[in-house]
Copies of this chain bind each other. A is one copy, B any other.
Amino acid sequence: MASKRSAKAGGLIMGGGFPVSIQTMWKEPLAPGQLDAAARRIEGLAALGCDILRFAVPDLEAAKTLGLLAARVSMPLVADIHFDWRIALACLDEPIAKIRLNPGNIGARWKVEEVTKKARDKGVPIRIGVNAGSLPEDLRDREDRAGAVVEAALREVAAFEDLGFTDILVSMKASDVEETIAVNRAFAARYDYPLHIGVTEAGPLIPGVVKNTAALVPLLKEGIGDTLRVSLSADMESEVVAGREILAAAGAGRAGVTVVSCPRCARAGFDTHAFSARWSSRLYGLKKNVTVAIMGCVVNGPGEARHADLGITGAGDKVIIFKNGQIARTIRPEEADTVFEEELSAFE
């Protein structure tokens, strides 16, 4: 089951049966002078499918800068805060849509209470995030690591519930696939707070995409997970594209393109790698369900392109454009981009 409770960050609802949202995290320092560039990059992330974006907020100045950015973009922005409750209070003076903070990391109950009071006043939800890699001392060496992670999350949840604050989301992350699945299943079986799912510190691009897919697809198919982040040692755009593809593979995807393209071999008369790379952001920006086939040769190309809404395939020294299973045009390779552009615009 998807979580019954929900949390609202700006215009985005997580949980309550709403579509699973995709998030990523800003990876560079955010200087006040860079807000134009940041806003443009956020537009690009939105086009790729990003719904909500998190920023580390290490000090009061960063809270101010993030507030300025939040005021000029429509995407809900999240402030990630460690150690200092005053930063959380400062963020709550800004148009920030969500906070990520653990009460156990803030310390004294009165400090946490100041934060929850203000968050409630402002209608801002807080995500609790527990990492298997940084558990409290007494849970650290428990044999049952998954149980320890859930227990750590429950302690944080209890600290908020004791203060009457329940506008929360929970994430429990591990760097291991099976542990990620186990902790989220265990939590979802007993509690109905919205879940933010992901594999943490998943490694470089390929291992990270494999681990996140292996962990998140089974969870999503079981209806577990209300928002997701694919953590990669790679750029934000890759995290968003991976999130989007994982949702699609789990049958929980939104409208958008499916690109079918061949791996290239010595048969290829048409450079599918270069063509795919050149067209990738344009294709991923499509908001309709479209299958586009980019194929290299006559062995598999025409067959696979037949099932696509739009297909382009090499065939000897020619390039063939397919539409809805029919050959639409036979062109020269140097015309490929221009003609593809024309055909693609029909789907935009």
Contact of A214 among B28, B249, B304 (CB under 8 A): B249
Contact of A295 among B178, B201, B207, B265 (CB under 8 A): B201
A205 to chain B, nearest CB (A): 7
- Complex Cα distance, B242 from A205, in Å, reads 10
A102 to chain B, nearest CB (A): 11
Q: List 20 A-B contacts (CB under 8 A).
A: A27-B265, A58-B266, A58-B267, A82-B299, A133-B304, A177-B249, A200-B300, A201-B263, A201-B304, A202-B260, A204-B259, A206-B242, A207-B245, A209-B213, A210-B242, A213-B213, A213-B214, A214-B246, A232-B263, A233-B273
Residues of B with C-beta under 8 A to A246: 210, 214
Cβ-defined contact, B55 with A266, below 8 A: yes
Question: Quick one: given A217-B214, A300-B134, are A201 and B266 in contact (CB under 8 Å)?
Answer: no
Name the 9 nearest CB pairs between A and B, nearest first. Answer: A133-B304, A134-B303, A214-B249, A213-B213, A210-B245, A133-B303, A231-B263, A56-B266, A203-B259
**A327 interfacial contact with B, CB 8 Å:** no
A201 to chain B, nearest CB (A): 5
Q: Which residue of B lies closest to A268 (CB)?
A: B27
Question: Quick one: given A80-B265, A214-B217, are A260 and B209 in contact (CB under 8 Å)?
Answer: no
**A276 interfacial contact with B, CB 8 Å:** yes
Residues of B with C-beta under 8 A to A90: none
B-facing residues in A238-278 (Cβ within 8 Å): 238-239, 241-242, 245-246, 248-251, 258-268, 272-273, 276-277
Residues of B with C-beta under 8 A to A127: none
A28 to chain B, nearest CB (A): 6
A152 to chain B, nearest CB (A): 12
Question: Quick one: given A201-B295, A207-B259, are A133 and B249 in contact (CB under 8 Å)?
Answer: no
**A287 interfacial contact with B, CB 8 Å:** no
Residues of B with C-beta under 8 A to A294: 233
The total of chain A residues at the interface (CB under 8 A) is 75
Residues of B with C-beta under 8 A to A300: 131, 133-134, 200-201
**A135 interfacial contact with B, CB 8 Å:** yes
Residues of B with C-beta under 8 A to A200: 262, 300, 304
Cβ-defined contact, A133 with B307, below 8 A: yes
Residues of B with C-beta under 8 A to A261: 201-204, 233
Flag A99-143 by CB within 8 Å of B: 1 or 0 each.
000000000000000000000000000000001011100000000
Which of A30, A217, A241, A266 has most chain B Cβ within 10 Å? A266
**A289 interfacial contact with B, CB 8 Å:** no
Question: Quick one: given A266-B28, A304-B175, are A273 and B234 in contact (CB under 8 Å)?
Answer: yes
Cβ-defined contact, A26 with B265, below 8 A: yes
Residues of B with C-beta under 8 A to A55: 266
Flag A187-198 by CB within 8 Å of B: 1 or 0 each.
000000000000
Cβ-defined contact, B207 with A210, below 8 A: no
Residues of B with C-beta under 8 A to A268: 27
- Complex Cα distance, B28 from A298, in Å, reads 16
A33 to chain B, nearest CB (A): 15
**A306 interfacial contact with B, CB 8 Å:** yes
